[in-house]
Amino acid sequence: MSAFAIPLTVVGSINADITATTERLPGPGETVGGGTLTRSPGGKGANTAVAAARLGARTRMIGAVGTDPTGTEVIAALRQAGVTVDSIAEVDAETGTALITVDAHGENTIAVCEGANAHVSIDGHDFADDTVLTQLEIPMTVVSALARTVRGFFVVNAAPALPLPAEVIDRADLIIVNESEYAALPQLRSARSVAVTSGAKGSTLFSRGEQIAHAPARRVTPVSTVGAGDAFCAALTIALRAGIPAEAALRTANAVGAYAVTDPSARPAFPTLDHFLSETGPAHDLLPTGPGKDKDRR
C-alpha cells in the first residue's frame, strides 16, 4: 500500500462551479462578452477531497448538499473520484454554487452562494484518529467545533480569508494561508505550523513565526488557478502525514498545485499518484515505501 493511503476526513464545502472564461475580468459595473461557459463540480472542501483521493488517501467527505438535481450530480462526482460520501447530508436548501470568471492569464474572481454549505454539521460524526482537513466555506462554528473534537492531525486551510478564532489557531497542527493573509493575520505567528503559499515564489513552512522550510514553485503557465490551493492543501497534508520531511513535502505540494492550474476547471488536472510519480522525477525519491503514520481505519 502507498504511504499516501492515509485515512483522511475532509469537512468542507461542496459546490457546483459555473465558470465564464473571458479575455479579461469585468470591472465593477462592466459587462465583458465573448465568454466560454463551463459547469463543473467544485467547492474548496470537495476539491480537496478529490485531490486527496487521486493521490491515494482513503478520503471521507463530511458536508451538505441540497435535495436538488445538482446535489445528486456533485455527490456522484465525489463518489466517482473514490471519495466516501456516506457522511454528506442532504438538506432543505440549494446546493452551493460558485460563479467564477477566469481571464486569459488564469486570474479569476469567485462569488460563492453558500446554500447547503451553511448547514454543514459534525454532530454525530466520529473522527477516530483520522487526519481532518477543513476550510472556511462552512460555518466558523463548525471549524471551532472541530478544533474541540478532533483527536488526530488537524489541518485548516484558511480560505476564503477570514480571521480564525484563537481556539482554532491553538489546536491546529497545520494552518495553510497565502502570503497576504499571513501578513494580515499577526496571530498566526503563534501557531505551531503555518504553510504559506506565495504563488510563483513557492511555499514556506513557519513554526511560531520562524521559517523552518521553503520550496520553490514549479514553473508552469497557468490556465486557471481555481482549485490549485485545494490540491496544494491535500498534497501537503498527505505528504507530511506520510512522513515526508517538510521541505520535500512542500515541493510535492507545489508540484501537485502546479498540475492543477493547467485546466480551466478545478479538478480535471488534479494528478493521480501514478501520474504524479511518473512525471515529477525527483519527487519519486521522496516517497517512503512503508505504510503511513496513520493506522488503517476503513
- CA within 13 Å, CB half, 270: 26
Task: Determine which residue in the list 7, 42, 56, 264 makes contact with ligand RIB, applying CB under 6 A.
Answer: 42
Identified binder of ligand RIB from the candidate list 91, 266, 269, 283, rule CB under 6 A: 266
Check binding of 110 to ligand RIB (CB under 6 A): yes
Q: What count of residues does the chain have?
A: 298
Is 47 a residue that touches ligand RIB (CB under 6 A)? yes
- Do residues 6 and 55 touch, judged by C-beta distance below 8 A? no
Q: Compute the least distance from the CB of residue 254 to ligand RIB, in Å.
A: 17
- Do the annotations mark residue 157 as ligand-binding? no
86 in active site: no
Q: State the SS3 of 94-157.
A: CCEEEEEEECCCCCEEEEEECHHHHHCCCCCCCCCCCEEEEECCCCHHHHHHHHHHCCCCEEEE
Question: Catalytic pick from 170, 230, 274, 296?
Answer: 230
User: Does 178 belong to an annotated binding site?
Assistant: yes
113 binds ligand RIB (CB under 6 A): no
Q: How far is the CB of 13 from ligand RIB (least distance, A)?
A: 6
137 binding ligand RIB? (CB under 6 A) = yes
CA–CA dist 19, 40 (Å, integer): 8
Sheet bearing 15-21, strands edge to edge: 36-42, 15-21, 96-102, 108-113
The three cell numbers of residue 91 are: 438538506
82-90, 198-206, 226-234, 268-276 -> range binding ligand RIB (CB under 6 A)? 226-234
By CB under 6 A, residue 118 contacts ligand RIB: no
Query: Which part of the chain contacts ligand RIB (CB under 6 A), choosing from 31-39, 81-89, 221-229, 241-249?
Result: 221-229
**Nearer of residues 244 and 256 to ligand RIB, judged by Cβ:** 256
Q: What residues have CB less than 8 Å from 28, skipping those under 6 apart?
A: none
Does the annotation list 44 as a binding residue?
A: yes
**CB-nearer residue toward ligand RIB: 15 or 131:** 15
Question: Would you count residue 51 as binding ligand RIB (CB under 6 A)?
Answer: no
| Count of residues interacting with ligand RIB (CB under 6 A) | 16
CA 270 – CA 281 distance, rounded (Å): 17
Q: Does 226 bind ligand RIB (CB under 6 A)?
A: yes
Q: Rule CB under 6 A: is residue 88 a binding residue for ligand RIB?
A: no
HEC per residue, 29-86: CCCCCCCEEEEEEECHHHHHHHHHHHCCCEEEEEEEEECCHHHHHHHHHHHHCCCECC
Report the candidate in 235, 212, 219, 177 with the shortest Cα–Cα distance to residue 8: 235
Q: Which of 9, 15, 101, 197 binds ligand RIB (CB under 6 A)?
A: 15
Just list the catalytic residues: 230
Which residues of the shown chain bind ligand RIB in the complex (CB under 6 A)? 13, 15, 17, 42-44, 47, 98, 110, 112, 137, 226-227, 229-230, 266
